[in-house]
Amino acid sequence: MNISINNKNVWAGPGETILQVANREGIKIPTLCYLKEFSPTGSCRICVVENEQNGQLVPSCAFPIYEGMQVQTNSPKVRRSRKTIIELLIANHPQDCLVCVRNGNCTLQDLAAEYGVREHRYRGERRKGKLDLASPSIERDPEKCILCGRCVRMCHEIQNVGAIDFMNRGFNSQVAPALDRSLNTVACVNCGQCIVVCPVGALREKSSQKPIWEAINDPEKIVVAQIAPAVRVALGEEFGMEPGTIVTGKIVAALRRLGIEVVFDTNFGADLTIIEEASELLRRIQLGGELPMITSCSPGWVKYLEHFYPDLIGHLSSCKSPHEMEGALVKSYYAKKIGVDPNRLFVVSIMPCTAKKFEAQRPELGSDQPDVDAVVTTRELARMLRTAGVDFSRLPDEPFDDPMGESTGAGTIFGVAGGVMEAAIRTARYYLTGHDMDFIEFTPIRGLDGVKAAEVNLNGNILRVAAINGLKNMERFLEDIREKKSAFHFIEVMACPGGCINGGGQPLPYDPEKVRKRAEAIYHLDRTMPKRASHHNEAIQKLYEEFIGEPGGKTAHQILHTHYIEREAF
């Protein structure tokens, strides 16, 4: 079809919206409630444009084009309407930008600057709401909510959780859990994807900075940090670097500048997870255990299963997640190696994930003391570095400490959806055949699609595998398992769309192109590693010889494995 935008003739396909055509033509239209992957609602009205044929203002994100349509995206009427909407949103918004966690990275703030809002023309009663601070992962400030509905659509349409929704009507409308309860008392899985899509500061991660600073300043404590694979391809964005810039060595240097004594690589824990997980999978196949076995690396996914499919808990791998394995080893193997009381060791995990904060507090992880004492997100680490005056871009690259600083490409690809599965296949193949795969890269389960499935020939045995990201995509697989119809042997699940590279603690604002570049960087790291399979990690081999014994043995189960619990689905 032929239409006109700003007096320029352009083509458009049937079913396209004005916004889609304008974006393709390089015409910027501001949005607040719109997200590309979701059904449009047109609720915020920031994206209004003028239909010249009748003079009406219509939401460009939801209005379909038609033959001969004539649209103005920047007429006086449009600009006046958008500015008024912004002013009305600000009138019902706390005036605390200077102390807001999203100051300088807030879509509403950006729009106010863009449209020249310099005064408060509208004054009156504001919506009230109570702070929700009880969750170990996510804090909610209802007074900052602009009712765009992004978080609601993410929680329902992509994550299939439904922990939050619209409540009440008219002026009293708000987004909250059922009965206005705390997120900590409902079936929230702490994935933080609501934070990722929130355009303002209504949702934020629970800060763990205070106990970390206290531990750093405590002369009796030895602070040990570990860095997840997805953090090293994302932290640079917080300091103006291109998405996907690999800053591993700079992070190590930065943590030492903060006063942290020891810096290990979570990829070591990922390699160890693969050894234990591949061994567990082969035992289940050979001895008739529950199949398919499902990965347990994503704490958001584990909590989802505990809430909504508790009868299928037996299908979860009993392996702890990589950072929890590493934390457990720091307080056992490493403490013994350096001859210190484990209580003096304070383990900090630098993670792309808000659900890891909840995971670290699980009583099932750790006995006398937690495996991990504190979790900070990529965003939080950036704030800590700014507070300490660390000029991140000028830091040199520094190596990890031994013995838990060695890793392989297999541990690195844990950061992207499909990576855990691919790493496990590399090692499972070796265990069954005695030699590595001819082509170490298993491309059928690569990519950011929500569902990927494949068959692997392991020494004449066909292994059916799937890699799922985004919890909604797992629903039909779980129903098949429940009805005994599943043909799969092994399933990887990542709660966050795209995997850890798009975790709830990664740099904002959300942009699919950023996620794609982070994934490319993860695979680049894998290709450049001298060793690309977990079973070739010499530090892991030495760990088994000196301390653990055999994979899946008594010591391994005491330190590296765990169990799960049933939770109510409300």
Give the residue numbers annotated as catalytic, written as ranges.
277, 280, 297, 317, 356, 359, 364, 500
- Write down the residue that tokens 């990690």 correspond to: 537
Backbone angles phi, psi at 480, to 5 degrees: -65, -40
Pairing of strands 345-351, 374-377: parallel
Task: Find out whether 50 and 72 touch, Cβ atoms under 8 Å.
Answer: yes
Q: How many Å apart are CA 438 and CA 324, to the nearest integer?
A: 32
CA–CA separation, 320 and 365 (whole Å): 8
DSSP-derived letter for residue 334 is: I
Alpha-carbon distance values, 28 to 47, 73, 373 (Å): 10, 9, 45
Q: How far apart are CA 377 and CA 361, in angstroms?
A: 15
Q: Are 126 and 143 in contact (CB under 8 A)?
A: yes
State how far the Cα of 165 lies from the Cα of 151, in Å rounded to an integer: 8
Q: Report residue 236 as tokens.
A: 């640079």
Among 107, 104, 346, CA closest to 214:
346
What are the structure tokens assigned to 90, written together?
């600000």
How, if at all, do strands 262-265 and 374-377 pair?
unpaired
Question: From the centroid of its chain, how far is CA 323?
Answer: 15
- How many angstroms separate the Cα of 491 from the Cα of each of 204, 263, 282, 487? 31, 32, 14, 11
Tokens of 453: 């499935």
Three-state helix/strand/coil letters over 73-109 = CCCHHHHHHHHHHHHHHHHCCCCCHHHCCCCCCCHHH
Strand partners, 316: 294
Residue in the structure block whose two tokens are 């106990």: 211
DSSP 8-state symbol, 277? H
Residue type, 531: K
For 191-217, b/e burial (b = at least 16 CB within 10 A) is bbbbbbbbbbbbbbbbbbeeebeebbe
320-344 burial: b if 16+ Cβ within 10 Å, else e: bbbbbbbbbbbbbbbbeeeeeeeee
How far is the first Cα of the chain from the last one, in angstroms, to the nearest whole number?
48
- Return the amino acid letter for 557: H
134, 186 in Cβ contact below 8 A? Answer: no
- The Cα 269–Cα 413 span in angstroms is 13
Q: What are the C-alpha distances in Å from 288 to residues 282, 349, 433, 489? A: 10, 36, 20, 11
Contacts of 174 (CB under 8 A, 6+ apart): 127, 129, 142, 145, 147, 166, 167, 168, 180
Structure tokens at 40: 């449009």
